[in-house]
Structure 1
Amino acid sequence: MNTFFAVDLSGNMFRGNIPESITTLSGLLLLNLSNNELSGVIPPSMGDLLRLEALDISGNKLSGMIPQDLVQLNFLEFLNVSNNNLTGPIPHGKQFDTFLNNSYMGNQALCGFPLSMNCGDSEASKPPKVSSEEDTESDFPNGIDWVVILIGAMTGLVIGLVYGDYLSTKYYKWFSQRSRR
C-alpha cells in the first residue's frame, strides 16, 4: 500500500511527460506538478487516482485534450490546468461541472462550459442539465439534515438566552452600583 497523501513537485523545472507510474499512488489526495516544463498529454490513467481531492498541473506545456477519464474523480475539489496548451472541449460531469473559468485560463484552444468560447457543438458549450432521474441528490438539506440544523439552532438559542440573561443581570447590577456613586 502506498502511503503518500500529497505530492508537491511544483517549480522544479521537470521536463518530459507526466509519468504513467504516478497512478500507482492510489491513496494520493493532492498532486501538484505546477510550474514545471512538462509536455505531452494528460494521461487518462490519472482518472484512476480515485481519492484525489486536488490536482494542479498549471504552468506547464501540456497539450491535447483534458481526458474524460478525470470526470470519475468524485472527490476532486480543486483543479488547475491553466497556462498550458490544452485543446478541445472541457469534460462534463460530476466535479467538473463545479470548476470556474480560472481553472482553465491560458489555454487558448479550450472550449465549452464554463468558458465563453463555444466548441462548435452547441451542446458542448452549454452548462449541463441535471435531470431528476440522473441526480437525485440535492445541495438543499433533506429531512435528516433539517433535524440536525434545528437541533443546533435551538441549542444555540437556549444557550444564548440563558447566558444573555445572566450577563445582562450581572452588568445591570454593576452599572446600577456605579451610577449611584
Structure 2
Amino acid sequence: MSARTSLHLAAEIGGPPHYDAGHYLRLARLAEDGALDYVTLGDSFARPGLDALAVLARVAPATDRIGLVPTVTTTHTEPFHVSSAVATLDWVSRGRAGWSADVSTTEAEARLFGRRAAAPPAALWQEAGEVADVSGRLWDSWEDDAEIRDTATGRFIDRDKLHYVDFRGSAFTVKGPA
C-alpha cells in the first residue's frame, strides 16, 4: 500500500505595492475561482506598502474558502501581538488563516524600530521559531468553554480554564494567557 500525498496549490498575490483593496480582492477571488488552496502575500519592513496581514484581513470577508497566508516578520514585533494578529485573521476568515514567518536582518530595518541592533540570521530564525511556539501556546491558553458570560452571577470567565504560558525564550518572555 502506498502513502498518498496531497498537492496544495497557491499563488503569491504581491508584486508592486497597491493601495487599492480591490486589486488584492480580485487576485484572491481569481485564485479561489481557479481552485487554488491558498494565497500568500509577502511583506517586509524594507519595502513600501501595506501590511500583508491587514490586507488579507480585508480580503477575508470577501472570499469563501481560500486560505490566506501573509508573511509576518517576527523580528521587532512582540510575540503577543503576532499571536493576536494572526488569531484575528483566523477569526475574520472563519478558520482559513496561516502565516509565513520571516525575519528582519538589516541594520536599516532595525533603525526603523530603534529597540535593538540587527542580529545574525541564525539567532533571528531561532527567535522566529520561538515566536511560532509561544503563539501556539497562547492560542491554546483559553479552553474552548472558558467563557461563561453569566450576567446573573457576574462571571465572565472560568479562571480554571485559562492557562499561563510562562514562556522564556532567547529574546523575550511571555507570561500569558492570551
TM over 0.5: no
Bigger relative CO (Cα 8 Å, ≥ 6 apart):
2
| TM score, norm. by length of structure 1 | 0.31
In the superposition, the TM-score normalised over structure 2's length comes to 0.31
Larger radius of gyration: 1
